[in-house]
Every structure is written in structure tokens, then in C-alpha cells.
Amino acid sequence: MIGFQPLAPSLGAEVVGVDLREELAESVLATLREGLSRHLVLFFRDQVIDPKHHMALATAFGVPVAHPAYPGVEGFPAINVLESTAERPTKIDTWHTDMTFLERPPLGSILRAREIPEVGGDTMWASLYAAYEGLSARMQRYLEGLQASHSFAHGFRHSLAEPGGWDRLGDAVRRNPPVEHPVVRTHPVTGRRALFVNRLFTTHIVGLAEAESRAVLGFLFEHLETPEFTCRFRWRRDSIAFWDNRATLHRPLNDYFPARRRMERITIAGERPR
Ligand SMILES: [Fe+2]
């Protein structure tokens, strides 16, 4: 029997009773879909799987898309390697929703832990539903119908400023011009409203003066990070996190330098936010 053990009231649940090495029956997938809709992030423990099992879970939910800035696993270009070492420590230390610089940001991601520091390197998630529902009715009405601009170049500005940064990422910048998304989106499965802006990629709200946009986004970014809207996951080797990228933000905690951390991620294509 598959069960879900909630990690925090706003979001997150550990899935028990699933072996991802087995072929996933339609009834199992239906339960996982329902669990993802309800809990927004699903966690699996001790799943000693191969890349093909990782791919099988992802393709059951949609079409995998590779990230323009990260390398792939040998033989599986859609599985991105996210590695942090003493020589090349990770630079992402900001709350964000993945790849909102795309016209169709991902439906979700499935992140698998391969090498984990003895302590540290946890990840936090936050519910975009809880954030929207935590606003006053007047603020909700104000945000309704507004669009915000999201930019790859903004999200990767620190990498671009490094020596060789433009040589490495210039093509990705040209292929990913800024896009606009609604500030409040409606989830295509649950019909719930979600506050869809993030510190990493959102640059401004369309139609506001610069100072107004800065003030409103500054408030929203802080509000999104309210501890009561979050959960925190402590990784172990062979842990997996599967999040709904349409209803969550996340933030890796970079507190483990100079230890190594190696993750493998598959991102699943999503739809245009509405
Ligand atoms: Fe991310």
C-alpha cells in the first residue's frame, strides 16, 4: 500500500510503499499524481535505482527537457548533473522556481541524491498556494491580471560575469529572451491560485514604474519565504524529491563547503502559465 507521511502542514510528504525499480502500474501512478497535487513535493528514501528508472518515473508524468546550462549524464542527456565541489562550488543560493525564463516553465523536477555531505546541503521548498492564500483579499485583487518579466540572463548574471561566462552561456542567453507570466497563476490540475514570481528570474512587473515594481516584488519575495509556508528536507544517498514546479519555490542550503554534493535531475516540460 502506498502511503504519504506529511513533512509540514503547507507542503511535502514522504512516500512509503513504492519501489521505483519496479514497473510503475497505472494505479501506482494515479496515486502518485494525486499525492503530488495534494502535497506539492514527494520524497522517496533508499531508492537504489538506475538512470532508466529515473527516466521511467519522469516520462510517466511528461516529456523530459534538458537544462541549457548544465551537463547531462552519460547516455541520458535529459538527466542533468548538478555537482558542487571545493573547486566549483554551486552558486545557486536563492529561492526560486525552476526555469521560469521559459515560455513554458517545467511541470516539475525529479532530483536524485548521488553524493551527499555528512551534514548540510538540505533543500527547502515553499508553497505558492500558501503564499497566495496568505495575502489579504485587497492585495490578491491588486495582483490579479498583472504580468511579470522573467529572465535567464538575470538568473545567471553572476555566472555570466565570470571569466569565460559569456562564451559558455551567451548562446543560452540569446536563445532565451525575457518572457512574461501572470503574477498569479491558476494551477492547471488543481485550479488553485499560486503566486508565481521568484527572486532568481523575475525582474519586474509589467506596467509599473521601476520603484513601484521593486517595492511590490520586494514585498512578495519576502512574503513567499515565510517559514510557515515551507518544509525542509534532509537528504541521504538515494533519496529522491519530486516537486510540482507550478506550485512551489525551492532553495538549496549552501552550508557544506568544501564537501562534495552530486545530484541528478530530470525536469519535465510544462505548459504556458495562465
Ligand atoms: Fe532549482
Handedness of CA 263, 242, 1, 62 (dihedral sign): negative
Choose among 204, 200, 192, 72: nearest CA to 147: 204
Strands (E), 58-167: 64-65, 72-73, 76-84, 108-115, 123-127, 147-150
Element containing residue 161 per DSSP (H, E): helix 157-161
The residues annotated with a catalytic role in the active site are 96, 98, 250, 265
**Ligand 1 geometric centre to CA of 50 (Å):** 22
Q: Are strands 108-115 and 240-244 parallel, antiparallel or unpaired?
A: antiparallel
Amino acid at 153: A
**Ligand 1 geometric centre to CA of 83 (Å):** 13
Domain ranges across the chain: 3-268
Per-residue pLDDT of the chain (274 residues; tens, 9 = 90+): 899 999 999 999 999 999 999 999 999 999 999 999 999 999 999 999 999 999 999 999 999 988 777 888 989 999 999 999 999 888 888 999 999 999 999 999 999 999 999 999 999 999 999 999 999 999 999 999 999 999 999 999 999 999 999 999 999 999 999 999 999 999 999 999 999 999 999 999 999 999 999 999 999 999 999 999 999 999 999 999 999 999 999 999 999 999 999 999 999 999 999 9
What value, to the nearest 5°, has the Cα angle with vertex 125 and ends 228 and 157?
120
**Ligand 1 geometric centre to CA of 98 (Å):** 5
Q: Is domain 3-268 classified as CATH 3.30.460.80?
A: no
**Ligand 1 geometric centre to CA of 5 (Å):** 24
